[in-house]
Amino acid sequence: MTRLFNDPAAFADEALEGFAAAHPRRVRQVPGGVVRATRTAPGQVAVVVGGGSGHYPAFSGLVGQGLAHGAAVGNVFASPSAHQVRQVAEAAETGGGVLLAYGNYAGDVLHFGQAAEALTAQGIPTRTLGVTDDISSASPEEAHKRRGVAGDLVVFKTAAAAAEAGLPLAEVARIAELANARTRSFGVAFSGCTLPGADHPLFTVDEGRMAVGLGIHGEPGMGERPVPSADEAAGLLVSTVLAELPEGVEAPRGHRAAVILNGLGSVKYEELFVVYRRVAQLLAEAGVEVVDPEVGELVTSFDMAGVSLTLCWLTDELEPLWTAPADAPAYRKGTVEAAELLAPDALAEAVEETVPPATDASREAARTVLAALRVLQDTVDTHADELGRIDAVAGDGDHGIGMRRGSTGAYEAAVRAEALGAGAETLLHRAADAWADRAGGTSGALWGVILRAVGSALGDTGRPTARVVAAGVRDASAGVMRLGKAEVGDKTMVDVLVPFADALTAATDAGQPLSAAWDTAAHAASEAAAATAGLLPRMGRARPHAEKSLGTPDAGAHSLALIVRAVHGVFAPTLENH
């Protein structure tokens, strides 16, 4: 388990700060992550990678000459926010455009996609690629739904080498897509990982048993079997990966492949070498010529005891990019010509010291909203451990941590905005941005949408009515479905948000005052959250483990229901009830 930490909610931030301090000649910290500390040639495509913390050396340890130009780093097992990704990309790019590369997880797809749209809109051409190498997470027919695991390294490395060679953005993106299409990974685990501050692992494996087809966010395996010998484990890994060949590879014999035997956190290097000994023998027997193999911890999952095997079937175009020199804190190959070290700068997030004008009525409403955000934060703090346990049943167990970071960031931003005299809209917009930024992940983005939509409805003038509040919640519901692509029945927060919005709208349209209408809608939300226990997830990290979640409510739905119940009555004193 993770034993050395201060505040668990600050773990990711403090780890990144310490990492940057330890590697000043290779990386420098910027808002949202790290970028190269060395000068990049003007006009070179910037390859910006990223994802949640807890996977070191991915993602920050892969920033350096010949590898990534920057890494956006999120909370533990949660994607960085779109704002963080954009900030890192802006610090890394030098005029050639940006390739954003990440593992194919819902939060990463959402945030990196939003960042790409924003960067392109401001004149920085940007492409995205989600790595999909984990063959256990979806069938070949649904390969686009697969997770990105240790194959991240192959895709990042070849794309970055192509950028270093001066290729344009379209070519760098094409090479990344080619490497991704030709990469396959499969893993096994003997124990789960434990998040900082948690008193138990995200999943357990019975003594003498092994989980197969695990994820890198503490997700349980797809099945279990007895613990094998090292040679038997090697045989399972090799036979599984060789069983699915990419297009153009009819049989293994005669093909060249990049090979990674990856330790997931607590399998010792000597154990990895014992396994790789047999992996190399089996690949040779199959006629595969191994090119520059890597054995070690490259994409981890905290202290998970596990190992994975990755093969990328090389082409004449990919091979020299895989073998090209690189010099990053956690990955070095060959010899690079040292680039000039950039002078330290004072990059810092701009502090907003002014707010748009607001009426007295809206500032009064803003104080009520601030009180609601305080109740929201207290509710999350009280239930954070419970939310994590629910999320760990079929997911990665980080929902409580993410909600705590998001709600705390939102409340702190709202306090600053209220002190400056902000109206309700401005206060909620700043809270929304802070939530998305601090929490990351899918829920961070969606809560940002919720708060922003309600804020836009309330405005900075006038006293919001009950119907205006209901309209804001209805807009939030539509925004969440549009951004998250979820529908009622998918076992997400949408299963609570939609009935809550519908009930609130119906009650206020019928003339109920806000307090009574909110109470009616909160009851509907609680019932809807409980009903998610009978659903199978169709989206997100819980989807590959759908059956495991039967009987347990969705964590996002449950947290939303808790929150709307807790803030009931806060609005009544200052919002008109008609």
In the numeric block, which tokens belong to residue 468?
């205006």
Q: Please say if 217 is a catalytic residue.
A: yes
DSSP string, 179-192: HHHTEEEEEEEEE-
The CB density around residue 285, as the number of other CB atoms within 10 Å, is 11
Query: Token match 């810092």: residue?
Result: 348
Distance between CA 96 and CA 168 in Å, rounded? 7
The catalytic position among 23, 69, 83, 217 is 217
Nearest Cα to 102, choosing from 112, 110, 93? 112
- Exposed, middle or buried by CB within 10 Å (0-12, 13-18, 19+), for 461? middle
In the numeric block, which tokens belong to residue 300?
């981890």
Which residues, 6+ apart, have CB-to-CB distance to 80 below 8 Å?
32, 33, 50, 51, 52, 72, 73, 74, 88, 111, 440
Strand order, beta sheet including 256-263: 223-226, 209-212, 183-191, 305-313, 256-263, 289-296
User: Which one-letter amino acid corresponds to residue 572?
Assistant: A
The CB density around residue 356, as the number of other CB atoms within 10 Å, is 11
Distance between CA 226 and CA 60 in Å, rounded? 35
Distance between CA 278 and CA 230 in Å, rounded? 8
Name the H helices within 287-422: 318-323, 360-392, 399-419
Residue 322's SS3 state is: helix
Q: What angle do CA 48, 75, 59 make, to 5 degrees?
A: 35
Q: Are 307 and 275 in contact (CB under 8 A)?
A: yes
Which residues, 6+ apart, have CB-to-CB distance to 248 below 8 Å?
313
Q: Sort strands 126-131 and 183-191 into parallel, antiparallel or unpaired.
A: unpaired
- With residues binned 3-state (H G I as helix, E B as strand, rest as coil), the percentages for the chain, rounded to 5, are 50, 15, 35
Q: Sort strands 305-313 and 256-263 into parallel, antiparallel or unpaired.
A: antiparallel
Query: Token match 């802070």: residue?
Result: 434
Nearest Cα to 50, choosing from 23, 84, 21, 25? 84
In the numeric block, which tokens belong to residue 95?
């005029």
In the numeric block, which tokens belong to residue 442?
């899918």
Query: Token match 């760098």: residue?
Result: 172
- In angstroms, the first-to-last Cα distance of the chain is 53
Q: Catalytic amino acids?
A: 217
